[in-house]
Structure 1
Amino acid sequence: MDWCEELTTRKKQTAATSLPEVSVSDDGVARYLHLGTPWVQGSMKMAAPFDIDLEYVQRMMAWLLFVEPERVSRRHAMQLGLGAGAITKFCVKKLRMKSTVVELNPQVISVCRSWFKLPPDSAKLEVVLGDAALEIRNDQWLGTVDALAVDLYDHDAAAPVLDSAEFYKDCRALLTDDGVLTVNLFGRSSSYESSVAKLAEAFGEEALWAFKPTREGNTIVLAQRTPTRPTRAELMARAEEAKTRWDLPAPKWLRVFKPVKTEPERA
């Protein structure tokens, strides 16, 4: 079955499957997105809708530590899973990047545009309604993405929906030579070590960096298409730039962000 045939089949399967109902709540300071449960699937500061509210989502911007700040606006970002649109809005409005987002649930797109200030499609923004696992195999995206953010969870937020070595290999194929993947590995039933092993199979262990978990349990892992090992001084300089230019708490990241070292196999 070729890509187009598989896409048609998956669309029919998705149409036959009931997607979770999308709801919104707020506390007067922040607005929250829910997918049929009390679990928060995204948030927005109502007084600063284009800032990134949640700590783990801020950390998904750590790819900025590996690129020249002056070239960021000329790059292409892609998000798999829209959530409340925080990364997408930040890339388009703050970083001035071309941005593509793939979202399976049409309700999420509608709610983000009505309640979370997601901009309409434009030369800078394309929202694709579709299955991320299939869309990333579309030839038009191969080798075009500089910053790929993956935050794909079911409505129970129990584990990543897509978390295989094959999926991560497809993600790697999207990236430019100096492109970077960031992925959220939070999940009550997910295994961090297993996910990292799959990422290492796809990217190589030397390409991986990781944060310590947030208080809520979100662990952000970064994978480079072409591994590099910048010095701490270089990373700090980029972190200070990210703080000055885009008001991200990047200098604090370096306290909890380092290359991944997997456990050696035992005889």
Structure 2
Amino acid sequence: MARSKSTPTPVELPEVNFSDWDGVRSLHLGTEWIQGTMLMDAPYDIELEYVQRMMAWLLFTDPARLTRFHAMQLGLGAGTLTKFCRKKLKVTTTAIELNPQVLHACRGWFKLPPDDSKLRVVIADAAEEIRNPMWHGVVDALQVDLYDHEAAAPVLDSAEFYADCRQLLSEDACMTVNLFGRSSSYERSVEKMVEAFGAEAVWAFKPTREGNTVVLAQRTPSRPKREVLLERAELIQSRWGLPATKWLRVFKPLVSRRA
């Protein structure tokens, strides 16, 4: 049957597969690049260092408020962040993923739970879906990790995209973004986030050994006292097993607050 001129050409999505090595299962999109991992004997834990750092929004969160939180992931990967937010933090969680094969893989190979009253996976283009007014102002933690099968640069990385992300956030919410890629520029990406959020709202980790840099942007800029951050880091570490006290040595605001 001929395709009408008004029907868009479908996007060719990469094949999804996985590999197992030394107790770790890795998700691939038809290449050797790892799109996510799972500890096979602890499927709801976070194994990769940069993915652990994507949880840094917890440093800015009153733990007593978590029961009312809504976390959203743009890009499902191996479902690591989605599983952690739903199973460990027990917060309402939404993931937006373009490739239905990735969702199938996560449910079949990576122990992603089925959708329920507190978990929803939306198959959609994140750039379009986040413009839906139903999501505006209701996300308390946004985690962005959008890479194609070549892992060369973020798929969505413009000031307009980050402005759309900011619209999703509640007043005290945070966005964390993974920046990695052979063609990407950390400086250019951060400039685009600054354009959308303001310089005082942006924090960054030092890069991991693998070259991932996690950047955090606050909907409303704040400078918690170090003792507050340390207290929360200790709680995060004891309650959920994330190395949060180490984060404070490699995580700082982009600019110092003026006196």
Structure with more helix by fraction: 1
Aligned counterpart, 2:54: 60
Aligned counterpart, 1:3: none
Matched, 1:18 2:12: yes
Task: Work out which of the residue numbers 223, 234, 246 in structure 2 matches 1:240.
Answer: 234
The answer for unaligned runs of 5 or more in structure 2 is 1-5
Matched, 1:117 2:107: no
The answer for unaligned runs of 5 or more in structure 1 is 1-8, 263-267
Work out the number of aligned pairs and report it.
251
Give the whole-Å Cα distance in 2 for the aligned partners of 1:261 and 1:75.
28
Aligned counterpart, 1:49: 43
Q: Could you list the structure 1 runs, at least 4 aligned residues long, displaced by more than 6 angstroms after superposition.
A: none
Give 1:59's aligned amino acid.
R
Give the whole-Å Cα distance in 1 for the aligned partners of 2:51 and 2:214.
9
Give the whole-Å Cα distance in 2 for the aligned partners of 1:133 and 1:17.
14
Q: Give the fraction of aligned pairs with identical amino acids, expressed as a percent.
A: 68
Aligned counterpart, 2:149: 155
Give the whole-Å Cα distance in 1 for the aligned partners of 2:175 and 2:32.
29
Where do residues 75-154 of structure 1 align in structure 2 (5 Å cutoff)? 75-154=69-148
Give the whole-Å Cα distance in 2 for the aligned partners of 1:16 and 1:176.
34
Give 1:189's aligned amino acid.
S
Select between 208-217 and 66-75 the one with higher mean Cα deviation.
66-75
Task: Work out which of the residue numbers 168, 184, 189 in structure 1 matches 2:183.
Answer: 189
What is the CA distance between 1:261 and its match in structure 2?
A: 3.2
Query: Aligned with 2:72: secondary structure?
Result: strand
Q: TM-score, normalised by structure 1?
A: 0.92
Aligned counterpart, 1:38: 32
Give 2:44's aligned amino acid.
F
Aligned counterpart, 2:3: none
Give the whole-Å Cα distance in 1 for the aligned partners of 2:168 and 2:10.
29
Give the whole-Å Cα distance in 1 for the aligned partners of 2:171 and 2:185.
29
Give the whole-Å Cα distance in 1 for the aligned partners of 2:12 and 2:163.
29
Aligned counterpart, 1:207: 201
Give 1:138's aligned amino acid.
N
Q: TM-score, normalised by structure 2?
A: 0.95
